[in-house]
Amino acid sequence: MVVFHNKDISDKSFLVTGGAGFIGSHIVEYLLNNHAGKVRVLDNFATGSEKNVTMFASYSNYEFLQGDIRNYTVCAAACDGIDHISHQAALGSVPRSVQDPVATNEVNVGGFVNMITAAKNAGVKSFVYASSSSVYGDEPNLPKVEDRTGNLLSPYAVTKKTNELYAAVFCELYGMKAAGLRYFNVFGPRQDPEGPYAAVIPLFIKGISSHLPVYINGDGEQTRDFTYVENAVQANIRAMLSDNSDAFGKVYNVAVGSNFSVNFLYHSIRELLDIPHQPSYREPRSGDIRDSLADISRSRKLLSYEPTLQFSDGLKLTVDFFRK
């Protein structure tokens, strides 16, 4: 993996909430491989996996704390002695939030307020959190620019927008250094293909590989700015370690800046696997955005963010991972 920072972090302590999850575990891996002083993970394995963190057990600078962000005492203990926080813990998935808005809100809003309050009280130097491209809602213009959002289309989107509002207030009121990252369809190794809320890429790979039915919602011509996980890791590292005071109190698109249809994605995976498997089409999913494409100029300007892997390269690495 490319190195995304140019300072010594051997005396710095990091907390990654949701570190047993897909994106979180990649952030943990980067920090450990680049000699961070201490890396603590907080996770309750609600959506994360124990196997995503067992590989870190041999690192002397690694700590694991099992707990739920809905408990403030747990959040306070997790923040103790920490310099920088990457807050990835959340209940993801638009369909899950449509199914269960109460749980989504308890974790994503209640848990977020616990975490950012505990971070403030612990005097952390930076608090970077996962937001989502879902906050753009029905705003029709492409590419998506951070200051231009529409009506929200799902409870999940409401929770992520609420996180952004809270973070802005904490920056203003308490002088915190917080930054939000609006992820655009992040994918890569270790993304879970199991369960009713699995993401589309591991689901397609699993279905095609196993000759199982693969469903495409709607006509498949909806587009997404598919973003390889290494790019999300880069944004977290650059934001947490930023010396630019103008970088905080803002939200950033984390994407590649190019989009592809779900049909194109399906056919690309099929070609990489060399399996002529046909998809089935069904009704569009409620709460879904039709088209998505990010403007990443703010991330470039204020975070020095630059995608290192494009869609096709990332997809090949991901298919290779699941093949093995």
Q: Give the residue numbers annotated as catalytic, written as ranges.
A: 156
- C-alpha to C-alpha distance for 247 and 244, rounded to whole angstroms: 5
Q: How far lies 148's CA from each of 135, 142, 153, 154, 249, in Å?
A: 10, 10, 15, 18, 16
- The tokens describing 288, both together, are 């879904």
- C-alpha to C-alpha distance for 177 and 273, rounded to whole angstroms: 44
DSSP annotation of 21 reads S
Q: How far lies 316's CA from each of 29, 74, 136, 273, 275, in Å?
A: 20, 39, 29, 10, 15
Burial 57-80 (b: 16+ CB within 10 A, else e): eebebbebeebbbeebebbbebbe
Q: Parallel, antiparallel, or unpaired for β 227-228 and 186-187?
A: parallel
Contact 299/252 with Cβ under 8 angstroms?
yes
Q: Parallel, antiparallel, or unpaired for β 178-183 and 215-217?
A: unpaired
DSSP 131-167: EEGGGGTT---SSB-TT------SHHHHHHHHHHHHH
- C-alpha to C-alpha distance for 309 and 307, rounded to whole angstroms: 6
